[in-house]
Amino acid sequence: MSNGARRESVVRTLVRRTGFPLLALGIVSLAANLLVLTGPLFMLQVYDRVLASRSVPTLVALFALVAGVYAFLALLDLVRSRMASRFAGALEASIAPDVFRASLRLGLTPLSAARPDAVRDLDTIRQYVAGPGPLALFDLPWLPVYLLIVFMFHPDLGWLATGGALVATTLLVINERLAGRPTAEAAAALTQRQSLGDDARLNAEPIFAMGMLDDITSRWQVRSEALAAVQNRTADVGALYSSVTKSFRFLLQSAVLALGAWLVIRGELSAGLMIAASIVTSRALAPVEQVVAQWRGLAAARQALRRIEALLAAQPAAAPRLSLPDPELSLDVRNLATGPDLRGPPLVTGVSFSLAAGEAMGVLGLSSSGKTSLARGLVGIWPLLQGEVRLDGSELAHYDPMLVGRRIGYLPQSVGLFDGTVAENIARFRPDADSQGVLAAARLAEVHQLITGLPDGYDTRIGARGAALSAGQRQRIGLARALYGDPFLLVLDEPNANLDFAGDTALTAALTAAKTRGAVIIVIAHRPSAIAVCDKLVYLVNGRQSAFGARDEVLRQITGPAPRIDGVRVNG
């Protein structure tokens, strides 16, 4: 499906999912705009009937009627504002899950932090839709109706009001042309500042430890000043056209009143019609003025919507898949090449190996040799640029990602725990989590005693990214998460990087138990203890497979007669 077709389908999806609330809001706006004519009609009756007849009962009756109508109009305005807020919520809910998933996928690619945050874009759209801006857009189509009413009062007044409407519309178009670029620049500057702020929060420790605080603050301040400058330019453009439009509306209202007075003097118009025409003309241009006043929000929301549409259009179409049985026999990798971007060069290529149930393989290589890239390709984080990854003979891409993910245990270098309880993190936040399964995974990772020693045991909240835990504790709980549910494929990226001797021993025991039950295990390691349970090894050099085979044989190839890894002898 082409990007254009996909964008079109996104728009159709929004209309389909929010069509009824939008229609209801339009109907309420119709009623509200009809009731707005109460003021001019009341003025007409007062000038042409009450003052002419000097009838106090008529004045009282008319005023009581108008008071009731305005009370109902207040109720309609309240209902309309509440409906706009609910419509904004319905709009967000209709695409929020897709946007969140797409933003997470975008986070798998390099430099994603420098790109606009799709979730913040969605917040921008909701804030605008829930505000007064869209209500002005609903009122804008009534401009011709109000002009027609002025024409019915007198053609000269109608032409004057129409000319004024054309001038106001021209100002609106000019504002659109001139405000678009500054608004886009402001969005880009805001994204850059947010990106630096997010990076600084994630790296607060080195900032404070190495005296970087003032320099990073200065860098952030430069971006803040750039953002303020472009926001000021945007605000200046908006303020200019808002002021001009507002003043022009007042001028036009007075011009209609003056022309109406001249027509009254000539006997072609009554005083009531003169006042009513002035009020209706002002009401006709009020939505234009409000649209200009809310233009910054409208422009920001439109640009945010374009970015979201482009993001969703770039996502692969979700094709229905036949539910395949859980893998339990083998992992076959053939000429694998993978990288973060389908359009970019692979970071690892030419990798081939086969593992049967109960076998473990270590992945060795110098830094930047492609070990982590291989792990990401094996579990489907990065796309395959070439070759195949097959589980029990079926390609990984043929499985439902959510279902096969439950049969994969993955421990990345940055463990990636979430704000929640220890039990929730181990259970991968599944709503149907089995308490016995959580306990079994914790015991298998030999972390049960550690967890029970926490203030609230398994119910201890660990904070964002597991901030309440040490690096070793995070890694061991991450191992328990990888082991949860007895996955068939275990891919562990330097699982003992932060472990002490006891943790190393626990890791070896956990991998041995996983092998015994028939799991396929892949361990990326720098320390020899991590490959103690491995039957085979693959050695990577500059992103390419240099050697593969039995562990001791590969060690002899890469280290000589005395097998060593990082200077430590490995006994065969």
Mode of pairing for the β-strands spanning 360-365 and 520-524: parallel
Domains, in order of start, for the chain: 3-313 (1.20.1560.10), 330-569 (3.40.50.300)
Which helix or strand (DSSP H or E) is residue 246 part of?
helix 213-265
Q: What is the DSSP letter of 414?
A: S
Q: Where are the beta strands (DSSP E) in 370-517?
A: 384-391, 394-395, 408-411, 489-493
Total Cβ atoms within 10 A of residue 536? 19
Give the SS3 label for residue 562: coil
Q: What is the DSSP letter of 462?
A: -
Asked if 375 contacts 362 with a C-beta cutoff of 8 angstroms, the reply is: no
Short-list 451, 456, 534, 523, CA closest to 492? 523
Give the SS3 label for residue 171: helix
Short-list 488, 508, 483, CA closest to 496? 508
Task: Name 421's bridge partners.
Answer: 461
| Per-residue model confidence as pLDDT tens for the chain (572 residues) | 334 344 444 556 565 656 666 677 778 877 887 787 787 888 778 877 787 788 888 888 888 988 888 888 888 888 888 877 777 777 777 778 888 888 777 767 665 545 667 778 888 888 888 777 777 777 777 888 888 888 888 899 889 988 888 888 787 777 767 776 777 777 778 777 877 777 777 667 667 766 777 877 888 888 888 888 887 887 777 777 778 877 887 888 888 888 888 988 888 888 888 888 888 888 877 777 777 777 777 777 888 888 888 787 777 666 666 678 888 889 999 999 998 877 778 899 999 999 999 999 999 988 888 899 999 999 888 888 899 999 988 888 888 888 888 889 999 888 888 888 899 999 988 888 888 999 999 998 888 988 998 888 999 888 877 778 888 888 889 999 999 989 999 999 988 877 777 878 888 888 999 999 999 999 998 766 678 889 999 999 998 999 899 988 888 888 765 444 444 444 33
Total Cβ atoms within 10 A of residue 379? 19
Short-list 187, 186, 193, 190, CA closest to 219? 193
Q: What are phi and psi of 446, to 5 degrees?
A: 50, 45
Any idea which residue has 């796309």 for tokens?
383
| CA 240 distance to own-chain centroid | 33
